[in-house]
Amino acid sequence: MRHSLPLAPQFYVTAPQACPYLPGRMERKLFTALQGDNAEKLNDSLSKQGFRRSQNVLYRPSCSDCAACLSARIDVRRFEPTKSQRRTLRRNDNLARRASSPWATEDQFSLFRRYLDARHADGGMADMDIFEFAAMVEETPIRSRVVEYTDRESGALKAVCLTDVLDDGVSMVYSFYEPELQRKSLGTWMILDHVEIAREAGLPYVYLGYWVPGSPKMGYKAQFGALEVYRRGRWERMMDTADYAEECHPLSTDPIAEQVANISLPDSRG
């Protein structure tokens, strides 16, 4: 099904499929192509409205059963790590960060496969080969970086994050790490380091993707202070997680046509 606005990108809706976060639910996504001279402005604008990038596509959950997927970001200026997060920072002070252009390597893919096999063997990416991995990393029409974390002594690659640079923050598109180092909490540590990356760049937000109330897979995001979620057309400070139960109700969703009509698009004139 296609929906469009005059002189604007065309929006489409995927067919329903099983939700990966909430059992017994069906998910569908609203999406548009990310291409052309206006790609960066479009990505900046729609990221502020709950969209995420996957290669040359911008998407946002648009399910008929609920509106539980809430885009989440950290307000860098207000963020202070917890005691547990400070311990995580200390546990990983042996790692060095290196950011580069989005170019896939064999070392990255090898780490990616170990990560998937150990943690997401039955997930949607389980069968991804090196060519698909390269496409995930390299097919980007905007400012993207591959942030690698290596052991300072051995130089071994321990963690990687594909990161987009927005006009108001950094967006963590996808991250993976050495599964044998689970006790070092590398997933949490990479988020903490991206808070530092944003501070160094003078950017106010770190975009984390979706937080889903009621989903154990996404519960870790609520552990970060200064969290904001995009809800009902605006960003708000995270409340008690129990206050978002109504987002799982079918009446919480708006019709697709209304959702598209309420999307704010950037001025393409420059």
**pLDDT 10s digits, 124-134:** 677 889 999 99
pLDDT digits (tens, 9 = 90+) for 127-169: 889 999 999 999 999 999 999 999 999 999 999 999 999 999 9
Q: Residue 74, CB half-sphere, CA atoms under 13 Å: how many? A: 27
Does the structure show a pLDDT above 70 at 37?
Answer: yes
Does the structure show a pLDDT above 90 at 6?
Answer: no
Does the structure show a pLDDT above 90 at 190?
Answer: yes
Phi, psi of 226 (to 5 degrees): 60, 30
Does the structure show a pLDDT above 50 at 7?
Answer: no
Q: What pLDDT, on the 0 to 100 scale, is given for residue 213?
A: 87
Does the structure show a pLDDT above 70 at 45?
Answer: yes
Share of the chain above pLDDT 90, in %: 71
pLDDT digits (tens, 9 = 90+) for 192-218: 999 999 999 999 999 999 999 888 888
Q: What pLDDT, on the 0 to 100 scale, is given for residue 260?
A: 87
Q: Residue 173, CB half-sphere, CA atoms under 13 Å: how many? A: 26
Domain ranges of the chain: 83-205
Report how far apart the first and last C-alpha atoms of the chain are (Å, whole number): 31
Does the structure show a pLDDT above 60 at 112?
Answer: yes
Q: What pLDDT, on the 0 to 100 scale, is given for residue 268?
A: 56
CA distance linking residue 50 with residue 38, whole number of Å: 18
pLDDT digits (tens, 9 = 90+) for 214-268: 888 888 899 999 999 999 899 999 988 888 887 877 767 788 888 888 899 987 5
Q: Does residue 220 contact residue 188 with C-beta atoms inside 8 Å?
A: yes
Judge: domain 83-205, CATH 3.40.630.30.
Answer: yes
User: pTM of the prediction?
Assistant: 0.92
